[in-house]
Homo-oligomer: A and B are copies of this chain.
Amino acid sequence: MSGDARHSPSLAGLRDGDAFDGFYIVKESSFQTAVNGKNYIRMIVADASAQVMANIWDANRDLFALCPSGSIVKIQGVSETYKGKQQIRIGRFRPAHESEVDPDDFLPRTKRDVGAMRDEVLALADSLADADYGRMAAAFFRDTALMNAFARSPAARDLHHAFLGGLLEHTLNVARMADAFAGTARVDRDLLVLGALLHDIGKTEELSAALVIDYTDKGKLLGHLHIGAEMIADRARTLPDFPREKLDLLRHMILSHHGRYEYGSPVLPKIPEAFALHHLDNLDAKVETSNRLLDAMIDPEKSWTDFSRALETQLYRSGGRDGGTRDA
């Protein structure tokens, strides 16, 4: 259908003065009165690429009732600049019909090939030499419903890999490096690779991704470490005679992978594989976070990002970054 979100102009791509027509999600909406006494509607609208302020001048409360927060609307408007930021002046708009749109289209998603990533995860799951770990891997990744949820889930709300498919992408990155590391270091490869594949599996229940990515109540009350370890115990119940020690080791991998109490691990790593998983997880997460923050820089003349609370520092964009070897 020509009108769907995937064919709507991308908000991030609009330039000053561009007129456009497309579907967007209303993140926030409020009815306001200007100093001159006239009423207007002030909204934040978003698509998968960005979120932008938008105004409807000379509005009334009937119009306001048509665009509540959380709804999807069709907008004809013009992009402007206000106080140095992009803003939209809305000409016409109407609510979208359910049949016109797919909510997932309004969320950011991985740029990598989901099918190929799923295949690679399955190949790693199938590669485990230990029969028990192999049974456990199959119990997760050969379960199509779970695999579908896993492949769609983001890896975070705000931080690294906060987009549809982010959990799959992050998990694959970590598991790949775990596999490479196991090739040269003295670790139990199967335990490490399976731990890597399952380390964030609890995020499938910790996060929801319906129109917005957010934590679930359960996720906030229990945390994805506990949830993930419990999911493993649940699957183990379905596997005859699953060895108790392997079950404890696997759950230990999940519970300890944040590496320090203050990062939310209730136990510290106590086996070489758990230390490895912790640092491989951080390796991927910190590099992805810093790349994302650097990508988000707009001003081409600046060489430093704003201060990042997650990374506790500013990031430097070297001269070689955009044309250089890094983007190969």
Spell out A's residues near B (CB within 8 Å): 30-36, 42, 80-84, 129-130, 173, 176-177, 180-181, 184-190, 217-218, 220-223, 225-226, 229-230, 233, 244-245, 248-249, 251-252, 255, 261-272, 275-276, 278-280, 282-284, 286-287, 290-291, 294, 303-304, 311-316, 318-321, 324-327
> Can you name the residue of chain B whose Cβ is closest to the Cβ of A314?
B270
Question: A281: nearest residue on chain B (CB-CB)?
Answer: B279
Q: Is the CB of B266 within 8 A of A266?
A: yes
A320 touches B188 (CB 8 A): yes
Q: Chain copies in the assembly?
A: 6
Q: Cα distance A279–B129 when bound, in Å?
A: 28
- Docked Cα-Cα span, A312 to B274, in Å, equals 14
Query: With A217-B245, A264-B261, A272-B290 given, is the CB distance from A184 to B190 under 8 Å?
Result: no
**A291 surroundings in chain B (CB, below 8 A):** 186, 272
Is the beta-carbon distance between B33 and A36 smaller than 8 angstroms? no
13 additional contacts (CB under 8 A) given A221-B270, A272-B315, A275-B290: A34-B35, A176-B184, A177-B184, A186-B287, A188-B321, A188-B326, A222-B252, A222-B255, A229-B230, A269-B290, A269-B313, A271-B318, A279-B280
- Contact indicator A290/B271 (Cβ below 8 Å): yes
The residue from B31, B279, B287, B326 contacting A81, defined by CB atoms under 8 A apart: B31
Q: Return 10 A-B CB contacts under 8 Å, by A number.
A: A177-B180, A180-B180, A186-B327, A188-B320, A218-B244, A220-B314, A226-B226, A252-B316, A272-B287, A276-B286
Residues in chain B near residue A266, CB distance under 8 A: 223, 225-226, 255, 264-266
Determine if B35 and A221 form an interchain contact, defined as CB atoms under 8 angstroms apart. Answer: no
Which residues in B have their C-beta under 8 angstroms from that of A315?
270-272
| 5 closest cross-chain pairs (CB), A and B | A275-B286, A279-B283, A221-B252, A272-B290, A266-B266
Which residues of B sit under 8 angstroms from A312, Cβ to Cβ?
268
Tell me the minimal C-beta distance from A52 to chain B in angstroms.
Answer: 15
Give the CA-CA distance A115 to B174 in the complex, in Å: 32
| Closest B residue, CB atoms, query A34 | B35
Highest count of chain B CB atoms <10 Å: which of A36, A80, A222: A222
A32-B83, A265-B266, A283-B280 known; A249 vs B188 contact (CB < 8 Å): no
| A325 pairs with B129, CB closer than 8 A | yes
Q: Are B272 and A217 in contact (CB under 8 A)?
A: no
Q: Which chain B residue shows the least CB distance to A262?
A: B261
A135 to chain B, nearest CB (A): 16
**A320 CB to nearest chain B CB (Å):** 7
Contact B272 A324 (CB under 8 A): no
Residue pair A220, B270 in contact (C-beta under 8 Å):
yes
Residue picked from A129, A186, A230, most chain B C-beta under 10 Å: A186
User: A284 to chain B: closest CB distance in Å?
Assistant: 7
Among B130, B252, B326, the residue within 8 A (CB) of A186 is B326
Q: Is the CB of B287 within 8 A of A325?
A: no
Chain B residues near A290 (CB-CB < 8 A): 269, 271-272, 275
Closest-by-CB residue of B relative to A294 is B272
